[in-house]
Copies of this chain bind each other. A is one copy, B any other.
């Protein structure tokens, strides 16, 4: 299995609901360094998994609506804790849509898995990885 992985980042505010979160129930924030890996069984005739430039562009387009925002104010996240894990899945779903829509260029059609990793500090990170479902 081949993979290519690209990196970008966002800087957001948010708060969490639930005693579990202790001091993180207060409004705070995070820099998330975001890695997205695309998996493919074989390389395209060009010798790539997907176009790395378009992969960077697709990731940037996904992150843009979140960057420099208070996630507590975004309607798409109403009633949800925007934990690192939850945001991994959010980015995964968007990148899966991008792959299915062919936005990663030639190779998009053969992407079989995606993994999204969010680094929240030098001592903690989370990821979500799954096969890419296709209709």
How many A residues have CB within 8 A of the partner chain?
63
Contact at A20–B33, with CB atoms within 8 Å? no
Bitwise interface map of A from 6 to 32 toward B, beta carbon under 8 Å scored 1, else 0: 111101111010101111101111111
Among B11, B13, B43, B130, the residue within 8 A (CB) of A120 is B11
Among B12, B33, B86, the residue within 8 A (CB) of A43 is B86
Chain B residues, CB < 8 A from A49: 85, 126
Among B30, B43, B105, the residue within 8 A (CB) of A11 is B30
Question: Nearest Cβ in chain B — how far from A114, in angstroms?
Answer: 12
| Interface residues in A65-101 (C-beta closer than 8 Å to B) | 67-70, 80-86, 88-89
Copies in the complex: 6
Contact at B70–A27, with CB atoms within 8 Å? yes
Contact at B47–A121, with CB atoms within 8 Å? no
Binding site for B on A (CB under 8 A): 1-9, 11-14, 16, 18, 20-24, 26-33, 43, 46-49, 51-53, 56, 67-70, 80-86, 88-89, 105-106, 120-130
Given contact pairs A21-B46, A51-B20, A9 touches B128 in the complex (Cβ within 8 A): no
Given contact pairs A28-B70, A30-B30, A47 touches B106 in the complex (Cβ within 8 A): no
- Residue of B whose beta carbon sits closest to that of A120: B31
Chain B residues, CB < 8 A from A128: 1-3
